[in-house]
């Protein structure tokens, strides 16, 4: 996640010496802090790991909002209520003039987080040419209730659809009703 090895101080000489130096140092430090909180959050079923999980997500939100414009991405966050839980869905949408782009829905499993899957996707060029949606499945990781058969009820809410040039996702009617 970061080029700075653990326990090594940030060395100014290894960073660009132009006007981007401060930004590079800040992004590197945020990535490193995020990695530490991510490790501290696993497994997340007791108060301390859950707190680390929330800090990890908050730091990543700051980082994501800071780097998205430089990657030509729009970031959207949506809350979808299901099974008495609020599921956060992140959308990473390319800033482009193309009429249609393919969409990818990434659902995370029992111990997975949005942060770990988004960091992985952001390291690829694929995220720049597709619309990506990330969500933790209901009943996983930081959810209040354990995963059940009903956790999969969210999947039919996403109709196979297209992303328009305004990047509005075509959800099924059931999804529209639930968001309102």
What Rg value do the Cα atoms of the chain yield, rounded? 18
Number of domains in the chain: 2
Residues 105 and 152 occupy one common structural domain: yes
Q: What is the pLDDT of residue 103?
A: 81
In this predicted model, which residue has the larger pLDDT, 61 or 175? 61
Query: Of 71, 89, 123, at which residue does a domain stop?
Result: 71
Q: What is the pLDDT of residue 81?
A: 78
> Which backbone phi and psi does 150 adopt, to 5 degrees?
-70, -10
Structural domain including 3 reads 1-71
Q: 134: closest CA among 153, 148, 121?
A: 121
Q: What is the pLDDT of residue 179?
A: 32
pLDDT in tens, 96-107: 756 677 788 887
Residues 164 and 140 occupy one common structural domain: yes
- Report in angstroms the alpha-carbon separations of 87 from 46, 64, 75, 137, 139: 20, 19, 16, 7, 10
Query: Of 71, 102, 125, at which residue does a domain stop?
Result: 71
Q: What is the pLDDT of residue 19?
A: 64
**47-61, 77-91, 165-179, range with greatest mean pLDDT:** 47-61
Residues 77 and 163 occupy one common structural domain: yes
pLDDT in tens, 121-168: 888 888 888 888 888 876 666 666 666 666 666 555 554 443 333 333
Q: Region 23-39: what's the mean pLDDT?
A: 86
Residues 24 and 38 occupy one common structural domain: yes
Residues 64 and 108 occupy one common structural domain: no
pLDDT in tens, 60-110: 999 999 889 988 899 999 887 777 777 888 999 888 756 677 788 887 766
In this predicted model, which residue has the larger pLDDT, 3 or 114? 114
């Amino acid at each position: 996640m970061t080029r700075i090895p653990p326990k090594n101080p940030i060395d100014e000489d290894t960073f660009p010496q132009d006007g981007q130096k401060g930004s590079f140092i800040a992004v590197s430090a945020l990535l490193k802090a995020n990695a530490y909180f991510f490790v501290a959050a696993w497994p997340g079923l007791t108060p301390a790991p859950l707190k680390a999980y929330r800090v990890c997500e908050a730091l990543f939100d700051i980082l994501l909002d800071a780097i998205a414009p430089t990657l030509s991405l729009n970031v959207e966050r949506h809350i979808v209520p299901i099974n008495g839980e609020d599921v956060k869905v992140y959308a990473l949408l390319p800033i482009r003039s193309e009429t249609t782009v393919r969409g990818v829905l990434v659902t995370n499993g029992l111990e997975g987080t949005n942060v770990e899957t988004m960091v992985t996707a952001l390291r690829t060029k694929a995220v720049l040419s597709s619309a990506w949606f990330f969500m933790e499945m209901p009943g996983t990781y930081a959810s209040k209730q354990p995963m059940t058969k009903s956790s999969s009820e969210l999947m039919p809410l996403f109709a196979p659809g297209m992303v328009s040039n305004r990047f509005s996702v075509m959800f099924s009617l059931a999804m529209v009703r639930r968001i309102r």
